[in-house]
Structure 1
Amino acid sequence: MKKDLLIAGWCILLSTWGATGQVTLQHLLTENLVNPLGINVAAPRFSWQLTAAQRNVQQAAWEIKLTAGKTAVWNSGKVNSAQSVQVPYAGNPLQPATKYSWQVRVWDTAGKVTPWSAPATFQTALSSPADWKAQWIIPGFTEESDRPAVLYRKTFTLPKKIRTATAYITAHGLYEAQINGQRVGDAYLTPGWTSYNKRLQYQVYDVTSLLVTGANAMGVTVGNGWYRGYLAWGGNKNSYGSDAGLLVQIAITFTDGSTQNLITDGTWKSSTGPIRYDEIYHGETVDTRAEKSGWTNAGFNDTDWSQTQTSDFSKDVLVTTYNEPVKKHETFKPIKVLTTPNGKTVLDFGQNLVGWVMVKAKGNSGDSIVIKHAEVLDKYGNFYTENLRVAKATATYILDGKEERTLEPHFSWFGFRYIQVEGYPGEINPDNFTAVALYSDMQPTGTFTCSQPLLNQLQHNIQWGQRGNFLDVPTDCPQRDERLGWTGDAQAFSRTASFNFGVNNFFAKWLHDVTADQRADGAVPHVIPNVLGPNSSASTGWADVCTIAPWNMYLAYGDKRILEEQYSSMKAWVGYMQAQSKNDLWQTGFHFGDWLFYRPFDDNDGKAAVTDKYLIAQCFYAHSTQLLINAAKQLGKTEDVTTYGELLQKVKAAFVNEYLTPNGRLVSPTQTAYVLALQFDMLPEALRAQAAARLVQNIKDYRNHLTTGFLGTPYLCHVLSRFGYTDMAYTLLLQETYPSWLYPVKMGATTIWERWDGQKPDSTFQTPGMNSFNHYAYGAIGDWMYRVIAGLDTYEDGPGYKHIKIQPHPGGGLTNAAATLQTYYGTVSSGWSTNGNELTVDVEVPANTTAAIYLPASPESTITESGIALSAQKDLQVATSDDQYVMVKAGSGKYHFVISGAH
């Protein structure tokens, strides 16, 4: 009954939209990408945005037409549907390696039809291993022990004028390609990192403009990368193989319709060049004296190069690229040139970032420039690299004595704010050094600002932690000898990540590797791709990434396919926990627990922060089971809903029997224990309020400080707000002394730290064995800032911000806060500001969505919208009110609320 009334209310609201104004369409996406190349799904999904100046714009129907060249392929006809995001193709099977163009038009609720949109395009990938005519090739020479990067080269002739040319490239290692002296594409660190023995990505490029009629040449450099370089610890290398293989296929169509393929085969040549050494952890050595000038041009003499060998490496593992590649982004100039107390020359770029430094230099032949990288200076101002462990993180450039040139790495990158420069010829000029940020080409989507500068810096640090660590996989740290895809960190941060950047495809790709590396018994490894071995698996809160991340992506983007594709993985993990349990209680196996929680060494009152790891495991067992039920509901798997619903009740009952006293006290009296028990509804409803009170008392006992680690921290403030303690959540957020979110900010941090006290108040450091200054996990507080402070949220019945919840929570002494988010529907925003007893709330709702706006007001408050009394505003419907909020329903548009007498 209540649901029917809500639907009727929305219908009344939306019917008020008049027939004036023009709706237009923009931002067409295929598989969440703009004009992508290399789509390999049977039914690509199309998305578009409606824009209009008027309010309450809603789509009633759509029509898509799709062509290949001038040939009509599919016309959907008019489809009565409000869906404008991820609409699946429903025509005849698409052909491989074919370019398609599509347009859309829509009808609004008043029956008006838009013009056809501007065309969008996509190109399908190779559909099967049989489509690959190319052969894998490997060098035709014996590699040196340091394994310099391998150069591959081929000259070829194109006899006619070229219409189109598409290149398909992958490698065992990292590659950079050139055709006729010009770089192919603007991606770096390709083909990216996947579980190579099961899934190896290839990239697709339009290279039409790089080719010419007549003589051509292609050159590809292959470095070690993740495939055969050092990974993890103990001198581990060659994780996937020891070769530097290359696979290239270029499909060329001439203007007369005839075709020609350029493929890798035994006719290619191989050699080495200036990149004498490259390792992800240790850096790169470039000897410019060893350059082979013009080697990617047709006229180069390669008679002394070795013939390549062909190999039968599998093509069955080849997959097209799902996510945005790594690209260059922001650049930084040094803000200071320092001479440290021990006499070293150090440049400070002002921002801890991930990437490398481009160096302009000219010197004598044999001059060697050595650049070392560090995140911090020690308390004396000296260059500090001990926390990099065995990673050398060094770029070395040997000059050839010729003209000035700009030098940079190719297959290694660094996490740094500072560089130490040795051997630079001449005086250091800051203009000759440029730091470049490298990360996956995620589109920025979210912003958060407020009146508290420290919180604004915290938001900056959260976003830069994500930039630095979302480098094809979600890494735990980008600077030391690790840089692995730790699953616990990723699940903790996944929802925050989805606000700041568009990570739908990023996580979809990585979750395919979660499934690929998941053990047959359902256990999920600690790191993905898994290079630690099959026994490094099944830690609670880490393995649960396979349920948590898909559900968070579904909420953020409304992407049901991610649930479909990950459902078997989700189910297998719950099955693993079920198999490990006795009487529905999971108390076996290794667990990291509440990693890096605050340890109060002087604590003797029984309230120490150590949380029982099996208590945590039982909480996440229940949580993953609940998320599996949620996914089953969305996918129509009714039997699983029933089966796992029954299991969930047993898991929670076992928790109560084992870990809860009759009076409602948990056996681990810690913040994390209470947070997880409350967040995941582990306690009987009648005992939840007292448990929340115990949590608050614990916080007070620690002088209003948190003690949580990686697993408790993401939910701490959410639980406090849920149970009416938003003021305490603000107190924790705004706490400036250790341990707190703002302590690193006060210490000058520009990214999120791995530890609450990575640098101590006396400027000494935590143990160097594990002390990253760029580690996003604790940045998960961002989710509370966006969803609670600014109040920007989404409902499960309309995920992806189709149905929006806007409920700001003024407090904490802030005078204003605002968040904006670029969704698939357009911009949604929520901002508030205070002036005495007057509160202003500004909201933007994108077209083809609806919002429930909760205004912080009492029934006695006076509320206006755009200067009109709320009760007289025809564009809005007042739905409910209580002592805290007045809820109004709104369609699309911009709204300006002023609340007088706000509490």
Structure 2
Amino acid sequence: MSATVIDLRIEHGGPALGLGTPRPRLSWRLDGPSGWRQSSVEIALETRSGATRTSVLETDEQVLVAWPFADLGSRERVLVRVRVTGVDGSVSPWSDPTPVETGLLLPTDWQARPVGGAWGEAPGTDRRPSRVRRGFRLDAPVAAARLYASAHGVFEAEINGARVGDDELSPGWTSYGSRLRYRTHDVTELLVEGDNVIGAWLGDGWYRGRLGFNGGYHDLYGTDLSFIAQLEVDLVDGRRVVVATDDRWEARVSPISFSGLYDGERHDLRLDDDAWSIAGADLDGWTPVTVAGRDPATLVAPEQPPVRCTEEVRPVEHWRTPRGTVVLDFGQNLVGRLRITVDGEAGREITLHHAEVVQDGELYRRTLRLAAAEDVVTLRGDGPVTWEPRFTVHGFRYAEITGWPGDFDPAAVVARVLHTDMERTGWFESSDTGLNRLHENVLWSTRGNFVDIPTDCPQRDERLGWTGDIQVFAPTASFLFDCSGMLGSWLQDLAIDQLPDGTVPWFVPRIPGGPSWEPIEPGAVWGDAAVLTPWTLYERFGDAGVLARQWDSAKAWVDLILERAGEDRVWDEGFQLGDWLDPAAPPDDPADALTDRHLVATAYLHWSTRHLALTAEVLGRDDDATRYGAIADEVRAAFVGRYTDGRGRTTSDAQTAYGLAVEFGLIEGEEARAGGDRLAQLVAEAGNRIATGFAGTPVVAPALTRTGHVDRAYDLVLERSCPSWLYTVDMGGTTIWERWDSMLPDGTVNPGEMTSFNHYALGAVADWLHSTVAGLAPAAPGWRRVRFAPRPGGGLTHASGRHLSPYGEISSEWRIDRGAFLLTVALPVGTSGSVWLPDGTTVEVRHGRHEFRCELPTAAGEAAG
């Protein structure tokens, strides 16, 4: 019996339209009988002319298989199918054909130039955004059409009155001087024979809008607001018509008078003209565009899905304040914006304010700092209208509406959730409802902070790609979502923005940071994203290509910090954030942690050097692997000599210090057991309350588990007093907080400046929920081999985890029944695994569904009921 190809994917998945590579990699998932294994694959390519080529590869690999044909050219469209042969000689049916189409691969393919309104570029002048348009005529029916579009700023395109695509805030945020994404749209159905119009709305976005702290900075990438588009239309008679942005376009001031990511949007519907992008409309006030410059070599195809609206949330409660405004509670801290349906007289202004929390029945907005988070629409009085802002996004659970006409109907408002539309790949559930809510909070914080780049928070005047935050959280994010394309793209900007000496910026893309962050200094945990985040993508998605692409960046970072450490291999100088936001740190000094920040820096020096050696090994750089492996050993010895007593005690007698020492392999054997014992003792002495910041949180529960203290790890994770993970749940949190006590036990907001209610870093514990509670962890790159090792405890009676790996769905589900432990695991074709049972039994498994039973140790069985 043969297998069946059930999912043929191109590169990082999603529709393969407008690919930026001439050699896209292929992956496929299989369904097959028990014991079936692939021995070879046949790949067929069909061109537009109907010609077919095939290639047979003798391989058992299914993930990111190299393109076996000649390079594709720009705009080339082919169909790809695969069929596989098993070691038993059985041959699968051909897969359904998958279309593959490249974008504009060469700078010479581009005719488009950036165009925008001839106003607003100079400081102190009219900064209103513009709309741009151009009419054109097609003298034959359309066979196919593609729009390649980008902007200096953000844009929404229209053709003949219809919106193009459903992406939001395009083209997203990259290091614009070196990389500006364009997206490809199939617009065949929007065009007609005869007269047509193409146009675009424009907004400041990240390119020209306010970014950063303490008032921020404008015009970081340029002063123009411009549309860049190339519409290519293939007519049925074989001709191609190209309509590119150039001096034949026209512009007009937009009815959106202001848009900013921090401050919101103002839209006067009285100035709108619904027919502005429709042929034949009688329009006035349009003037010639200004043409800006752009090196087409910097225009790149996206590797990640766009930002989209992925969900709509209705208010669960509303009330009127003494001031007469309406406050809405959506029941969930989310990232997006409001869509309202309203009818009122011309000139009426409706104002929408947003906040994460309320205090005394009113929006509490201090935590927004200088972000206004205010949207205003002015009605034109011609009947009911449905409106939402176009070019802003807010982090909020609560919204206040001012100026609503007449009686308020909560059904007239919906919150639209926006984030990068990554495929969800991870699920977790247990018998503990608090633990389930904690996991849901992690999921929502991931969604809210993956808005084109991985940000630190979505609500205040910051929203930056902090390198340390994603470094500690990437393993969790990679379980929950297929973020391979998004993080791979972001890492390219990290390498671009890296300083010549190897220093990694605190946040990427790099912007001016003010006196606190300029000049940029190398900092452990944050800079280590250059090495450790590519490794996470390799480990979780099987992508060795990201290791190769980021090698120079990773090596430059390690070489720099080794130089800083000097011959003694201890990094004990320079500015360090250390265990940032340790709960013991005072509100005004989040870096003042219990753990010596140089201990943290030296631990990370070892960990990154070790992983650079592993990276070199994967890439076949044997000399580098040997060299950096030996240096990592030297750093480990230096750490033991400087920061331990040689018997497992660390000089900083703190949870983070022991967690790092154990999990990073800095202490081993008896020393590690002694360190784990002391860690467990510290947790007990703290009443099972957490005492770690960003650096220590990902490692403390795993270190306890590794050293035989899984029960103490459960005690830590299930603790409900402050500070703890479940404290945030009990206080009504629906996302992960920046501080353990962002809200104080009395219900007031922490007075510290760094007080966000949507910050994923402390949610890194979810990786322990997946690997230890549910028992799912990768044992080979891409989950090709899986370790099933659930560790029951904490009174839980059941738990489960599922992960959609590159090979297919992997699952682990256990329950306790009258002292017996019952486990069911499942593996897809192409993978294998080892199963560890609580009685110490280890079993090897191949793909398929497997059930196990063993008796639990008496204490565990009694605790679970």
1:97 corresponds to: 75
The one-letter amino acid of 2:118's match is G
- Partners of 1:422 and 1:173 in 2: CA distance: 29
Contact 1:56–1:890 (CA under 8 A) maintained in structure 2: no
Question: Which of residues 833, 836, 841 in structure 2 aligns to 1:854?
Answer: 836
SS across alignment from 2:841: strand
1:842 corresponds to: 824
- Partners of 2:776 and 2:786 in 1: CA distance: 8
Question: Which of residues 299, 313, 323 in structure 1 aligns to 2:280?
Answer: 299
Q: CA deviation at 1:80?
A: 2.0
1:475 correspondence with 2:455: yes
2:263 corresponds to: 282
The one-letter amino acid of 1:659's match is Y
- Partners of 1:225 and 1:73 in 2: CA distance: 45
Question: Which of residues 508, 517, 529 in structure 2 aligns to 1:528?
Answer: 508
> What is the CA deviation profile of residues 476-529 of structure 1, one whole-angstrom value per residue up to 9, with x for unaligned ones?
000010110111110110000011111111111111111111111111000000
The one-letter amino acid of 2:805's match is T
Question: Which of residues 227, 250, 266 in structure 2 aligns to 1:269?
Answer: 250
1:120 correspondence with 2:98: yes
SS across alignment from 2:837: strand
1:88 corresponds to: 66
- Partners of 1:138 and 1:342 in 2: CA distance: 42
- Partners of 1:73 and 1:169 in 2: CA distance: 31
Task: Return 5+ residue gaps in structure 1 as ranges.
Answer: 1-19, 603-607, 858-884
- Partners of 1:170 and 1:553 in 2: CA distance: 28
2:352 corresponds to: 371
Q: CA deviation at 1:440?
A: 0.2
1:814 corresponds to: 796
SS across alignment from 1:76: strand
Question: Which of residues 106, 127, 134 in structure 1 aligns to 2:112?
Answer: 134
The correspondence of residues 238-249 of structure 1 with structure 2, limited to 5 A, is 238-249=219-230
Contact 1:146–1:277 (CA under 8 A) maintained in structure 2: no
Contact 1:838–1:902 (CA under 8 A) maintained in structure 2: no
Q: CA deviation at 1:900?
A: 4.2
TM-score normalised to structure 1 length: 0.92
SS across alignment from 2:722: coil
1:618 corresponds to: 602
> What is the CA deviation profile of residues 224-275 of structure 1, one whole-angstrom value per residue up to 9, with x for unaligned ones?
0000100002341111111102211011111121111011110100011221
TM-score normalised to structure 2 length: 0.96
1:890 corresponds to: 845
SS across alignment from 2:539: helix
> What is the CA deviation profile of residues 796-845 of structure 1, one whole-angstrom value per residue up to 9, with x for unaligned ones?
xx311111111111111000000011112111100100011121111111
The one-letter amino acid of 1:541's match is V
The one-letter amino acid of 1:60's match is S
1:358 corresponds to: 339
Question: Which of residues 646, 653, 660 in structure 1 aligns to 2:637?
Answer: 653
Matched-pair identity in %: 39
- Partners of 1:168 and 1:725 in 2: CA distance: 56
- Partners of 2:29 and 2:408 in 1: CA distance: 50
The correspondence of residues 310-325 of structure 1 with structure 2, limited to 5 A, is 310-325=291-306
TM superposition outliers: structure 1 runs of 4+ over 6 Å: none
- Partners of 2:556 and 2:74 in 1: CA distance: 33
The one-letter amino acid of 1:500's match is L
SS across alignment from 2:91: coil
1:546 corresponds to: 530
Question: Which of residues 49, 63, 69 in structure 1 aligns to 2:29?
Answer: 49
2:311 corresponds to: 330
- Partners of 1:610 and 1:146 in 2: CA distance: 51
The one-letter amino acid of 1:587's match is D
The one-letter amino acid of 2:605's match is Y
The correspondence of residues 421-432 of structure 1 with structure 2, limited to 5 A, is 421-432=401-412
The one-letter amino acid of 2:43's match is I
- Partners of 1:496 and 1:519 in 2: CA distance: 28
Count of residues paired in the alignment: 846
Contact 1:342–1:382 (CA under 8 A) maintained in structure 2: no
Q: CA deviation at 1:142?
A: 5.1
- Partners of 1:901 and 1:412 in 2: CA distance: 54
> What is the CA deviation profile of residues 202-227 of structure 1, one whole-angstrom value per residue up to 9, with x for unaligned ones?
11111111111110001101100000
- Partners of 2:647 and 2:803 in 1: CA distance: 44
- Partners of 2:662 and 2:852 in 1: CA distance: 34
1:394 correspondence with 2:374: yes
> What is the CA deviation profile of residues 171-190 of structure 1, one whole-angstrom value per residue up to 9, with x for unaligned ones?
11000000001111110000
SS across alignment from 1:395: strand
The one-letter amino acid of 1:427's match is D
1:881 corresponds to: none
> What is the CA deviation profile of residues 731-771 of structure 1, one whole-angstrom value per residue up to 9, with x for unaligned ones?
00000001111000000111001000011111111125221
Contact 1:273–1:292 (CA under 8 A) maintained in structure 2: no
1:75 corresponds to: 54
Contact 2:639–2:666 (CA under 8 A) maintained in structure 1: yes
2:721 corresponds to: 737
1:32 corresponds to: 12
Question: Which of residues 577, 599, 615 in structure 1 aligns to 2:584?
Answer: 599
Q: CA deviation at 1:730?
A: 0.3
Contact 2:640–2:646 (CA under 8 A) maintained in structure 1: no
Contact 1:224–1:278 (CA under 8 A) maintained in structure 2: yes
Superposition CA RMSD, Å? 1.6
- Partners of 1:525 and 1:601 in 2: CA distance: 25
The correspondence of residues 498-897 of structure 1 with structure 2, limited to 5 A, is 498-532=478-512, 535-583=519-567, 584-599=569-584, 610-683=594-667, 685-767=669-751, 769-795=753-779, 798-857=780-839, 885-897=840-852
Q: In the superposition, relative to structure 1, how do residues 638 and 427 fare at CA in structure 2: closer, same or farther (>3 Å)?
A: same
Q: In the superposition, relative to structure 1, how do residues 419 and 856 fare at CA in structure 2: closer, same or farther (>3 Å)?
A: same
- Partners of 1:66 and 1:663 in 2: CA distance: 62
Contact 1:492–1:780 (CA under 8 A) maintained in structure 2: yes
- Partners of 1:118 and 1:208 in 2: CA distance: 23
Q: In the superposition, relative to structure 1, how do residues 83 and 343 fare at CA in structure 2: closer, same or farther (>3 Å)?
A: same
2:863 corresponds to: none
SS across alignment from 1:466: helix
Contact 2:579–2:593 (CA under 8 A) maintained in structure 1: no
SS across alignment from 2:601: helix
Q: CA deviation at 1:343?
A: 5.1
The one-letter amino acid of 1:111's match is G
1:876 corresponds to: none
> What is the CA deviation profile of residues 57-114 of structure 1, one whole-angstrom value per residue up to 9, with x for unaligned ones?
221111001122134364113x221111111112112111111210000012211101
Deviates most, 533-542 or 566-575: 533-542
SS across alignment from 2:182: strand
Contact 1:415–1:479 (CA under 8 A) maintained in structure 2: yes
Q: CA deviation at 1:303?
A: 4.6
The one-letter amino acid of 1:44's match is P
Deviates most, 306-315 or 659-668: 659-668
- Partners of 2:522 and 2:183 in 1: CA distance: 33
Contact 2:257–2:267 (CA under 8 A) maintained in structure 1: yes
1:65 corresponds to: 44
The one-letter amino acid of 2:477's match is A
Deviates most, 309-318 or 259-268: 309-318
SS across alignment from 2:460: coil
Contact 1:367–1:423 (CA under 8 A) maintained in structure 2: yes
> What is the CA deviation profile of residues 407-440 of structure 1, one whole-angstrom value per residue up to 9, with x for unaligned ones?
1011111101110110011111011000010000
Contact 1:48–1:84 (CA under 8 A) maintained in structure 2: yes
Question: Which of residues 413, 428, 435 in structure 2 aligns to 1:433?
Answer: 413
- Partners of 2:539 and 2:741 in 1: CA distance: 33
- Partners of 1:704 and 1:600 in 2: CA distance: 18
1:181 correspondence with 2:181: no
SS across alignment from 1:674: helix
1:109 correspondence with 2:87: yes
> What is the CA deviation profile of residues 574-618 of structure 1, one whole-angstrom value per residue up to 9, with x for unaligned ones?
01101212222222221111111011789xxxxx95211111110
Contact 2:12–2:304 (CA under 8 A) maintained in structure 1: no
